[in-house]
Amino acid sequence: MLFTTFYRLAKTGFVNFLRNGWLSLASTIIMTLTLITISVFLILNIVLTQGIQTIQDKIDISVYLKDSATSQTIFNMQKDLSNNPDVKQVNYITKDQAKQRYDTTFANNPQLKDSLDQSGNPLPASLEIKTYDPSKLASLMPMFDRPPYKDAVSKVSYQDNKQVIDRLFKATEFIKKVGWGLAIAFILTSLIIIFNTIRTAIYTHKSEIEIMKLVGANPWFIKWPFLIEGILYGVFGTALSLLVIYILLRLLSVSFNAYFGGGSTGDQVFGFLMQNLGPLLFLQLAAGITIGVVSSSVAIRKYLKKS
Amino acid sequence: MIYLKEVSKVYNKSAKKALDNISVHIKPKEFVIFVGLSGAGKSTLTKLITHEEEPSSGTISIGGIDYSKLKKRDVPYLRRKIGVVFQDFKLLPRKTIYENIAYALEVAGIGGKTIRSRVPQVLKMVGLESKAKNFPKELSGGEMQRVAIARALVHDPKILIADEPTGNLDPKNAWEIIDLLLKVNEYGTTVILTTHNKEIVNALKKRVITLKNGKIIKDQEVGRYALQ
């Protein structure tokens, strides 16, 4: 009995979807566009956030130490910094390491390289500090101005770079906000459009709902075929939108490769899609079915209220 | 079978009563014709019996069910016991003729086997076996009304209400529908017919209840059309 009822409701939903023809097609296309909008903005924001993260990971400060600083003081300073919960990483760069880096950097410029060799090693030892959140770097500054570390520190790079860091910060925060703002605006707009499309589709069948009630159908017996139609919009919408995204990225990656040379950006973007195909499929299916079912459910409620 | 006691119906507080203090008793297997001009209260009466509307005052009881005690969720079960035929047929446009009739059984959770034997039976009774796979829009008005009757009868209701079933039909088709209703009544179903077709009323020689301005002005065992 339960199985028979389930079978009938599912079959009715499928048959209605097919017999609705143009209306189903229109709803599915709108659903596809909605899912593409959601996916594209999510992908863009993930890529953007990752990009910003990469940039922010590069932000650090160097605390240059006086040659007179004792190893005990340096050790204490390193320990204090490591104990700070905001600090991600502290690296001690000795004078020799600093020299090595200098040599590597200017390996192609013997003049600069030699100038340093002649004057011994004037480069200071330093501590390179990274925080989890670069905006926390400023809060570390006071300790270098106070004893016992004041006398050991010759200079902190932050002061020099402060303006650049602050500006970069504001820029990345702004880009993030704009990105999410745009994403939310576009996603909301497309949600409103798909909801109205489904509402219109159900509105055209409102006299049928009246008839079904008069014939003695329970509210859920009337409702479920419409919900199944909603699920089908979601399922076909997912299939279509994945296909469209796949084709778009494929084309994009070809033109990227032609522009930047083979095996570069284009393949990376396409690779990103292929790697995340599973989660994307799941996300779209979940979003599509939820949108379809919730919209249908809300739209039909008003016609089922009266007995 | 059907009891209406001092039933009144007012749609808007200010407006006049659609039904004014109506009391009727309809016995099992009876064939009753409600006659009245437009606005006399015929449709309101059928809507009260199918529980599409609730009375403003008075009591209605059908087959021992007191409507005032009926819960909203029980209404679908009540409707499966009453077959209704409407002037505008009310067929589901996205379903075939077969599916339209089967739907009335499906909503009641009847098994597929019963449906497959019962639907062709009623289709044969109304003479539309050949149209089973057609959609309503491919049928004539008379054929659509026969489908509606088949649907109303498919679950063997004790009561069949026909609300102006011939209103949209030409005389030949109208008479075919009336003949069907008579046949249904012969098999033991109580039939309630509302109409303002003088010729049909006079020819049938059945009980006629005449409504005017929401009131019963005449109730005759073998009645005639009594309106101007």
Q: For A60-159, CATH number?
A: 3.30.70.3040
B122 & B9 share domain: no
Instruction: Select the more confidently predicted residue: B92 or A129.
Output: B92
Mean per-residue pLDDT for B168-197?
Answer: 91
B108 & B45 share domain: no
Span A169-204, pLDDT tens digits: 787 778 778 878 888 888 888 889 889 988 988 898
Query: A218 in contact with B at a CB cutoff of 8 Å?
Result: yes
B94, B104, B111 ranked by CB distance to A215: nearest? B104
Domain ranges of chain A: 2-55+170-304, 60-159
**Cβ neighbours of residue B11 under 8 Å, at least 6 residues apart?**
B18
End of a domain among B100, B135, B156? B156
Chain A residue with CA closest to B71: the answer is A307
B64 & B151 share domain: no
Measured CA to CA, the distance from residue B11 to residue A301 in angstroms comes to: 24
Decide if A211 and B75 are in contact by the 8 Å CB cutoff: no
Decide if A214 and B79 are in contact by the 8 Å CB cutoff: yes
Chain B hits for A307, Cβ within 8 Å: 51, 72, 75
B103 & B211 share domain: no
Closest-CA residue to B156 (of B105, B202, B95): B105
Q: At residue A111, does pLDDT exceed 90? A: no
pLDDT reported for residue A142? 77
B164 & B99 share domain: no
pLDDT reported for residue A102? 79
In a domain, B86, yes or no: no
Query: A2 in contact with B at a CB cutoff of 8 Å?
Result: no
pLDDT reported for residue A140? 75
Domain count of the fold of chain B: 2
B20 & B74 share domain: yes
Decide if A212 and B76 are in contact by the 8 Å CB cutoff: no
Q: How confident is the model at residue B85 (pLDDT cuts 50, 70, 90)?
A: very high
Q: At residue B198, does pLDDT exceed 60? A: yes
**CATH (domain of B43):** 3.40.50.300
Measured CA to CA, the distance from residue A182 to residue B131 in angstroms comes to: 56
Span B29-39, pLDDT tens digits: 999 999 988 88
Distance of CA A208 to the CA centre of its chain: 44
Query: A215 in contact with B at a CB cutoff of 8 Å?
Result: yes
Decide if A1 and B109 are in contact by the 8 Å CB cutoff: yes
B105 & B76 share domain: no
The chain-wide mean pLDDT, for chain A, equals 82
This model of the complex carries an ipTM of 0.86
pLDDT reported for residue A80? 80
Q: How confident is the model at residue B144 (pLDDT cuts 50, 70, 90)?
A: very high
**A 127-166: CB under 8 A from B:** none
CB A64 within 8 A of CB A126: yes
pLDDT reported for residue A49? 76
Q: At residue A264, does pLDDT exceed 60? A: no
In a domain, B9, yes or no: yes
CB A275 within 8 A of CB A69: no
Q: How confident is the model at residue A160 (pLDDT cuts 50, 70, 90)?
A: low
pLDDT reported for residue A181? 87
Span A53-104, pLDDT tens digits: 777 777 778 888 887 777 787 788 778 878 888 888 888 888 788 888 878 8
The chain-wide mean pLDDT, for chain B, equals 90
B75 & B174 share domain: yes
Decide if B90 and A214 are in contact by the 8 Å CB cutoff: yes
In a domain, B64, yes or no: yes
Angle in degrees, CA A158, A161, A165, rounded to 5: 100
Query: A20 in contact with B at a CB cutoff of 8 Å?
Result: yes
pLDDT reported for residue B196? 85
B42 & B99 share domain: no
Q: How many CB atoms neighbour CB A232 within 10 A?
A: 22
Chain A hits for B109, Cβ within 8 Å: 1, 4-5
Angle in degrees, CA A221, A226, A232, rounded to 5: 130
End of a domain among B156, B176, B203? B156
End of a domain among B156, B176, B207? B156
Chain A hits for B72, Cβ within 8 Å: 307
Distance from CA of B136 to the nearest CA of A (A): 13
Closest-CA residue to B38 (of B214, B171, B201): B214
Q: At residue A206, does pLDDT exceed 70? A: yes
Chain B hits for A1, Cβ within 8 Å: 109, 111
Q: Could you list the residue range(s) of the whole structural domain that residue B175 is in? A: 1-81+157-228
